[in-house]
Amino acid sequence: MFETNEAMTLDVRVIPPREKHPTIFRTFDRLPEGGSFVLVNDHDPFPLRYQFEAERPGGFTWDYLEQGPTVWRVRIGRS
């Protein structure tokens, strides 16, 4: 009925604020090595990138696919 996603999409706009980052990291940790998902948010998630650099140093990739003004999309990969 609806097209199959080729990329996994994690849309965090619907998640209560205090659950957002734990959900993102939990989903990231369940990825296979080399896997990725597209994070969708309603603002630039750059503070999250700092948290990744602190907590998963060298273990992730970060590529902006769309940068606002309404929606931000970032491909986060597990390297």
Partner 1 sequence: MILSLSSAAAPDLELREIAAVCSHRGLGGLELVPGTAHGVGPHWSPSRVRSALDAAAAEGGAAVRIVALEVERPAEAAQLAPLAGALHLALLLPADRWEPGELVARARAAADDGAHVVLFRSFSSAAVSDTASLLAEIGHARVHAGWEVDPASAPLDFAERLLDPAAPPPAYLRLRGGGPEAAAQTGMGVGELIGRLTLARFAGPLVLTPSSPTFHVAWSAWLGRRGGWGCGSKADRELVGLSPALSPASVQ
Question: Segment 7-66, which members bind partner 1 (CB under 8 A)?
Answer: 8-23, 26-27, 30, 37, 40, 42-43, 47
- Write down the least CB distance from residue 42 to partner 1, Å: 4
Q: Is the peptide bond before 22 cis (omega within 30 degrees of 0)?
A: no
Per-residue three-class SS string for 2-55: CCCCCCEEEEHHHCCHHHHHHHHHHHHHCCCCCCEEEEEECCCCHHHHHHHHHH
Between residues 3 and 57, which has the closer beta carbon with respect to partner 1?
A: 3
Binding test (CB under 8 A) with partner 1, winner from 71, 75, 77, 78: 71
Residue ranges binding partner 1 (CB under 8 A): 1-5, 8-23, 26-27, 30, 37, 40, 42-43, 47, 70-71
